[in-house]
Amino acid sequence: MIRTATACIFDMDGLLLDTESIYTQITQSIVGQYGKTYDWSLKGNMIGRPMLDSARYLVRMLELPITPEEYLKERSGLARTEFPKCHPMPGARELVSHLSRHNIPIAVATSSHRNLYEIKTTRHQNWFALFDAVVTGDDPEISRGKPAPDIFLIAAKRLGVDPVSALVFEDAPSGLEAGIAAGAQVIAIPDSNMDKSRYTGATQILASLEQFNPERFGLPAIRN
């Protein structure tokens, strides 16, 4: 049963910004040095999780001759060049701007650390300035990353709302699990390569943010 929402909390990677294609490109360039292939059988279990957890999973599954920390260091160097080029996902800028104009509390809750958040939003600072709160994966209040609910509970607290009245937008199964654990309703917007059966429990599963209808959740309608 759909409940009225009083605030919206957004994941960032693959939801607001098209960073996942860049992550794939960077990761393949690293693992390719060792004759390995990075595909969705791996990526599907990594997206949305804390970066060290994902790095450990990648190194273990591909049996890479490097440590997770060495992988992340190499990835960080490539990220500084590539991530500032990322573009908004379809409908993302428009929806955030709409909610901001109507004074709906909005937050970003991303597993990315603050330095990566700053790099990814380099060309989008005016847009991301609309958010009332930004919680990153290295926030000192977070003790557990997604799929634990910590990041969404902290985001709701900083918006001054009950998590139960928040509407979470996520593209990753781990993020969906985290949002549900926080007590929120979750709109899932999976990548087209993801198995939709992994999104059980989502309030809605949409192809993009362009399909979201705010009125169904008691939010202001988008007028064309």
- What tokens does 77 get? 């160097």
Average pLDDT of the residues in 156-166: 98
Domains of the chain plus CATH, in order, are: 7-18+86-217 (3.40.50.1000), 20-85 (1.10.150.240)
Is pLDDT of 198 > 80?
Answer: yes
Q: Which listed residue (13, 132, 139, 162) is catalytic?
A: 13
**Helix locations, the chain, DSSP H:** 20-31, 40-43, 51-62, 68-82, 92-101, 114-120, 125-128, 150-159, 173-181
Give CA 97 to chain center in angstroms: 18
- CA proximity to 210, closest of 93, 48, 123, 87: 93
Is pLDDT of 224 > 80?
Answer: no
Average pLDDT of the residues in 44-53: 84
pLDDT of residue 40: 86
How far apart CA 212 and CA 207 sit, in angstroms, is 9
Look up the pTM and report it. 0.89
pLDDT of residue 194: 86
Is pLDDT of 44 > 90?
Answer: no
Residues shown for the chain: 224
Is pLDDT of 48 > 80?
Answer: no
11 is catalytic: yes
pLDDT tens-digit readout, 49-108 = 888 999 999 999 999 999 999 999 998 888 888 889 999 999 999 999 999 999 999 999
Q: Which residues contact 133 (CB under 8 A, 6 or more apart)?
A: 107, 108, 155, 158, 159
65 CB neighbour count, 10 Å cutoff: 9
How far apart CA 202 and CA 176 sit, in angstroms, is 7
pLDDT > 70: percent of the chain: 100
- What tokens does 75 get? 């990835």
